Amino acid sequence: MTSAGHTDVREPISEDHPTCRLRDILDRVGDKWSVLVMDLLGSGPKRYSELQRSVDGISQRMLTLTLRSLERDGLVDRTVTPTSPPRVDYTLTEVGQTLSGQVRALIQWADDHREYVARSRLRYDAT
């Protein structure tokens, strides 16, 4: 589109290619902590400390960054109860739940093909 002279080779993927504009969504799904947190929130609202205890190995820093990011994207709601000490609850939004569903489908795929991938790797590594 930008220049002439192409034959039948696909256009290079650039900024306005659909796949690229979806990068941030894919990053989200690929993100270790986001997936784990969304998975936990899928079973109901959780407090900050609850998440920290449940997501094994997550640092305070990463939990906060992950929640902020999910909140920014409208996937998670943050509810502050200004008691003392303060209480903060996190919930999946409706849209967050639909993404969570997609992730679950992906997890299903992985489950269905775990053996296959494992065997492929063994075979490949034997070379």
Partner DNA sequence: CAGAATCCAACCGGATACTG
Partner DNA sequence: CAGTATCCGGTTGGATTCTG
Residues lying near DNA in the complex (CB under 7 A) are found at: 31-32, 47-50, 57-62, 64-65, 67-68, 78, 85-88
What are the φ and ψ backbone dihedral angles of 8, each rounded to 5 degrees? -115, 15
Q: CA 31, CA 19: separation in Å to the nearest integer?
A: 17
Q: How far is the CB of 27 from DNA (least distance, A)?
A: 9
Distance CA 66, CA 86 (A): 20
The Cα–Cα gap between 106 and 17 comes to 23
Provide, rounded to whole angstroms, the least separation between the CB of residue 53 and a second copy: 7
Rounded to 5 degrees, what angle do the CA atoms 100, 64, 30 make? 40
CB of 69 to a second copy, least distance (A): 10
Per CB under 8 A, which of residues 92..121 are in contact with a second copy?
95, 98-99, 102, 105-107, 109-111, 113-114, 116-117, 119-121
- Give the one entry of a second copy, DNA, none that residue 60 binds, where binding means its C-beta sits below a cut-off of 5 to 8 angstroms depending on kind: DNA
If the CB atoms of residues 19 and 105 are measured against DNA, the closer one turns out to be 19
In degrees to the nearest 10, what's the CA dihedral of 105, 107, 112, 115?
160
> Under the criterion CB under 8 A, does residue 41 sit at the interface with a second copy?
no
